[in-house]
Each structure stands twice: as structure tokens, then as C-alpha cells.
A and B are shown apart, each in its own frame.
Chain A
Amino acid sequence: MDWLHDMIFQPQSTVQKIVVMIFAMALFVALVALIMWLIGRPRVPTWLVFLGFAGPVLIAVSLGLIYPFIRTVLDSFHQFNSVGQAVGWNGLDNYTSYFSGQGNRRMLINTVLWLFLVPILATGLGLVYATLVDRVRGEKFAKALVFLPMAISMVAAGIAWRYIYYQPAPKGDSQIGLLNFLWSLVGGEPTNWLIKYPQGTFAMIIVMVWIQTGFAMTVLSAAIKAVPDDIVEAARIDGASGWKLFTKITVPSIRTTLVVVVTTVAIAALKSFDVVFTMGSNLPSNDILASAFYNAQSTLNYGKAGAAAVLIFILVIPVIAYNVLQMRKADSYR
């Protein structure tokens, strides 16, 4: 009995873990089968059939997103004690705390830098690369090389980049980090890139760009291939080629996709804290809003964490709104 209880609630051995996984899947299948059997019988009203199909999702998102969202908004106006219990309202204090002090100011500046630089650089590089390798021999391979960082975790990416930004070696020793090696080749003084401000932020933005360019490139490449042949032909007959063809035909034709890519990458840059968490050596000067959230959460300061989460949400809204607006515009042209 103990073994069974541990298996379900505290699995330790390999066997327990695998059995509880199978158990969970079997439980799920049984539940689905039960629901399907109930609504599959004759003369069940349509609304019940609808609930049978959509109900689980409606319940799950209510429990997993809507309720927590309301809770977090409320928490963000509360004071929390050191063991994470709410001890009363404190108005906007959690929010205003992010707008004072040098550390927080840098955190906000970093967030803005991430929000703009990551999407612009990733989309720009992705667009250039997608155009350059379009219909070239070995296109698939060339695209896979740039897309690869997208498939691996940001933590693994952060570890890979560790050996680019590695701290300077002691005097006289050879460098371990590629950047310091190259930097000293051109006569620079090796430096600890990741702990300086603002070098640390730029160093990590580069990592995020490295990760996101593959996404931009893939989506834009598909868009470029979808540009109607006749338009390209007509422009070519008119004598456009190279740069002119790119700026006058390609870019305007894929405008909608460009907006989608920029906004998607912007939101990813805003929400993900993995790169900073893995590479930023916990320095306040490297933080962004998403890592400030995690720091507050891990110190049980749920009020401040809630405020950071709500701020992220508030920043996401205009990005999405811009996206929807551009979509509408594009639709009305058609």
C-alpha cells in the first residue's frame, strides 16, 4: 500500500515513475472513454454533447488560466510576509517598487532593449538569410543550420554560449572564451562580458537573437516562396534585380508575415527568462522583467512577482493589438 501511495504521490524508483506515467495515461483514456460513452448514447441533447467534447478544455483553462490570472492580479496589490502569506493590501506599492532604484531602472531599460532589439535583429537577419538562400543548391541544409538553435532549449543554448563569453583567463594563460580570444587578437583587453553593464545585456540579447532567427527565417522563407511568380517576373522585365527587387517587391509582398514574425519574437523576448537565468549570474544589472518575476517568486514575494507578471501581460497587449490591427488592414486590402 505504501509502495502504491509513493508511486502516485512521491515516485522515487524508475519503476514507480514509469508505472505512474502509464497509470496517468490509462486514467485519462478511461475518463475520455466514459465521457464518449455517455454522450454517444441515443437521444442525448446537443448541448450535452457539446459539453462532452469542449467541457474538459473549458474546465482546464478556467482552472489553469482564468482563475490564476484573477488571483495574480489580486495578489499584485497585496503585501506578502517572508513565508509567502498575504498580510493586507498595499495599493500600487508592488508596481511602483519596480520604478525606483538603479537596479530596477536598469531592469526596465534591459526589458525595453530586449523587446525591441531581439525582434528587429532576429527578423532582419532571418529575412536576409531567407532571401540569400532562397532556391540555392543546398537550401535545406543551409536553413537547418540556422534553424537548429530553435530546436534546443535556451538552457543548452546558454551553456553553448558560455564558451563564447567565458571570463578572461589568468594573465599568460590561453583564453577559454572565443570572444576574449578574438578580442585579444585585435589588441583588446580580455573582459568578463557577462557581468559588465550594459555589455551583459547585449551579450544575452545576441544569444536570444541567435535562437529566434531560425524561426523568423523559416516563416519568412515560406512567405517569400509564396510571392506570386508573375509579380517577380514583371518586375524583372522592368529591369529590377538584386537590392531593388528585394526592397520594392519582396518586402512589400510579405509585409503581413513580417509583422507576425516581429510581434511573435517580441512576445517571446518579453516572456522568456531562461537565457538570463542561465547566463546572467543572478546579477540585477542583467535582469529583465521575466527574470524579476522569477526572483520575486523564488523569494516568496508573491506580491512583487504578481506585479511583474501583470506588467508582462500589460506589455504584451499593445504588441498583440498592433498585430491584429495590421492583420485587419491587410485583410481589407484584399
Chain B
Amino acid sequence: MSAAIAPMPIEEQVGGRRLRRQQRANDAKTRLSSPWASLIAVVIAILWTIPTFGLLVNSLRGAPGPSSSGWWHFFSAESPFTFSNYSAAWTGNGVPANALGGFLLNTFVIVIPATVIPIALALGAAYAFAWIPFRGRNVLFVMVFALQIVPIQVALIPLLKLYNGWGLTGSFWPIWLSHTMFALPLATFLLHNFIKEIPGSLVEAARIDGAGHVGIFFRVMLPLLVPAIASFAIFQFLWVWNDLLVALTFASGANTKPITPGIQGLTTQFASAADILPAGAMIALIVPLIVFLSLQRFFVRGLLAGSVKG
């Protein structure tokens, strides 16, 4: 769920301002010529990189490296550079129930429908709230959007009982449904912000050509909304991938457990899993990292367009 926040008044400046920007960039050099400012920036950057860097180093040190000496000793005769932690983590280090390969498969199976379905549903609703004249649509929209403030904790237990009653325990349906339902208030709100900005003249023109709402939605709206969809898709993808609470509640069975509770489980059996833990964490974060680094632009736009899940 997420914080309910109106869109922020932030726009990337473009075009004609470039010249002035350049001028300001030059000015900035005077500002940053202060050695203290640079020093502080560098210190923050280093502090923020150390934990992940240490994890990376530890994931590449041979046993018993990670649990016998600090990572800043790097590689030595007794803890040489090796990729074997990764293969051990992938197969669970002899414990099939810990195999991260299996967890990762479950994460993939969970994350694809849990990203596509809420976006598709929210697009329809956002269109209806913005473009289909209907008495009471504003009240309904405010209701959906206000639900963002409900912490998901409030919804978990009744849903769990509901799913148990329907005989869905042990399958993927509960976690697909839950992620979908929890994502809808924010998704509808964000996409509504984009969809209402589309010029009415385009809709009018399509209507004169004889298109109904279904035609307008698929032929006029969807192509224009691709950037907005990309922004929210990355958002939702990362959120589902990194989620722990919903997974622990609805997908903690052996068949469906995804990677986050999977590596979380390793931390509680620290002694036996000590050597594969850093590699396991690296396996869990590599995909979100690639997604984030390659699609950063869309992700940041999604952040700025409204709010953030947490």
C-alpha cells in the first residue's frame, strides 16, 4: 500500500532552457569548488556503497570466509575467490528445501501476473473515472484512491481465512489475488493522473469517427499511455519482487515460497547457511538491480508522479 499523495509539481525542464541550464552548470562549479562540500558528498557515497560492496565481496569468498573473517580481508589462501557459493546457494547447499533456484522460479511465477493484472484492471478503472460520464464516479474514485492509506496489515488475516475457506491454500491464487487487490488504489490513482491529461479533442475526434468507449480506450488511450504504464509496471514489479509480508502470509508453503522469504529463512539457520547467505542475497537482488539500472528513467518518473509504496 502506499501513502496517499497528490501529484507533485515537478516537471523536467526541456528545450529552450538548455542554454540557461548550461550557464547554471558553470555557476555550480563555483558552488562545489568548496572542498568540504565535495568531501561530504564523497563520504556519503562511500558509506552508502559499503554494505552492498561487502556483501558482494563476501559472496565471492570461499568457505569459511564469510563467517570467519571480515570481508575487507578480501581473498586469501583460506578464503579464495570463487563462484561456488552461487552454485551452492542455487541448489540449497545440499538442502533441497533451501534451493534458491526453486524460490526464484516461484518469484517469477508470482511477479508476472501480479504486475500485469493490476495494471490492466487499473487502466480500465482510470479510464472510466476520467472519461465515462456517470453520476457518482467522483465519489467512487475518491473512495478507491483513499484506500491507499489502509495499511495492508489490516487486510491480511481476513483474506487468509477467506482463501482457506475457498480451498486455495498451497496454490499461487492467494498471492496473485492479494498483490492485485493491494496494488489497485495506487495504480488507479497514478494512471488516472495520466489519463485525464489526454486532450479531450482526441477523444471527441474518435467519437465522431464512430468509436465507442471500448474503441477509444484501446485505440486512442492505450498507445498514449505506454510511458505511464511502463513507470507503474516497474514500480509494481520491484514491489512484488521485494515484498516479504504478503509472501510470508499467503505463499509460505514449500510449493509457492518466493525468494524473499526464502533467503529470510536462511538467516534463521545462520550456522548451516552461513556460507551461502551472501550469495543468496546477491541472487535475490540481481534482477531488481538490473531492472532498476536499465529502466531507471521510468522508475524515477513513476516515483515523481505520485508517491511510493511502503
Contacts and interface: CB of A to CB of B under 8 A. Distances in A.
Contact of A10 (B25, B37, B171): B171
A64 B159 contact: yes
Interface stretch (A87-95, A102-110, A148-156, A197-205): A148-156
Nearest to A230: B20
B213 A53 contact: yes
A57 B121 contact: yes
B144 interface: yes
Which secondary structure dominates where chain A touches chain B?
helix
Interface in B136-180: 137, 140, 144, 147, 149-159, 167-168, 170-173, 176-178, 180
A195 interface: no
B245 A274 contact: yes
Contacts of A158: 267
Contacts of A25: 112-113, 116-117
B155 A57 contact: no
Interface string A260-281: 1001110111111110011000
A314 to B, nearest CB: 10
Contacts of B176: 24
Interface stretch (B10-18, B90-98, B197-205, B224-232): B10-18
Nearest to B20: A229
Interface string A6-28: 00111110100110110011001
B127 interface: yes
A317 B140 CA distance: 20
A161 B51 contact: yes
Interface string A31-69: 010001001101000110110111011101101111111
A71 B156 CA distance: 10
B243 to A, nearest CB: 8
A68 B156 contact: yes
A114 interface: no
Interface in B91-120: 105-106, 109, 112-113, 116-117, 120
A251 interface: no
Nearest to A265: B310
B212 A219 contact: no
Interface in B222-258: 238, 241-245, 248-249, 255-256
Given A65-B155, A260-B5, A260-B8, A148 B150 contact: no
A144 interface: yes
Contacts of A18: 109
B8 A223 contact: yes
A160 interface: yes
B284 interface: yes
Given A50-B132, A57-B184, A327-B6, A129 B44 contact: yes
Nearest to A42: B212
Contacts of A213: 48
Given A12-B255, A60-B181, A155 B260 contact: yes
Contacts of A327: 5-6
B48 A50 contact: no
Contacts of B105: 14, 17
A316 B132 contact: no
Interface in A267-310: 267-274, 277-278, 290, 293-294, 297, 302, 305-306, 308-310
A253 to B, nearest CB: 11
A135 B70 contact: no
A225 B185 contact: no
Contacts of A161: 51
Contacts of A215: 303, 308
A125 to B, nearest CB: 7
B144 A58 contact: yes
B34 to A, nearest CB: 7
Pick the most buried of A152, A219, A256: most chain B CB atoms within 10 A of its CB: A152
Given A225-B13, A260-B307, A264-B310, A54 B125 contact: yes
B271 interface: no
Interface of B: 1-6, 8-13, 17, 20-21, 24-25, 27-28, 30-32, 34, 37-38, 40-41, 44-45, 48-52, 54-55, 58, 66-73, 105-106, 109, 112-113, 116-117, 120-122, 124-125, 127-129, 132-134, 137, 140, 144, 147, 149-159, 167-168, 170-173, 176-178, 180-182, 184-185, 188, 212-215, 217, 238, 241-245, 248-249, 255-256, 260-261, 263-264, 267, 277-278, 280-281, 284-285, 288-289, 291-293, 296, 299-300, 303-304, 307-308, 310
28 contacts: A9-B168, A11-B256, A17-B109, A20-B172, A24-B172, A24-B173, A28-B113, A32-B120, A49-B213, A54-B125, A60-B121, A69-B150, A71-B158, A128-B40, A145-B48, A148-B48, A153-B243, A155-B261, A155-B263, A163-B66, A177-B70, A272-B245, A272-B310, A274-B245, A277-B244, A316-B149, A316-B151, A323-B4
Given A72-B157, A75-B157, A260-B8, 20 more contacts: A40-B212, A57-B124, A65-B147, A152-B289, A153-B242, A155-B244, A159-B281, A161-B51, A162-B267, A163-B70, A214-B48, A218-B304, A260-B307, A265-B310, A267-B2, A274-B244, A274-B245, A293-B153, A313-B150, A320-B4
The 3 closest A-B pairs by CB, nearest first: A64-B181, A268-B310, A153-B242
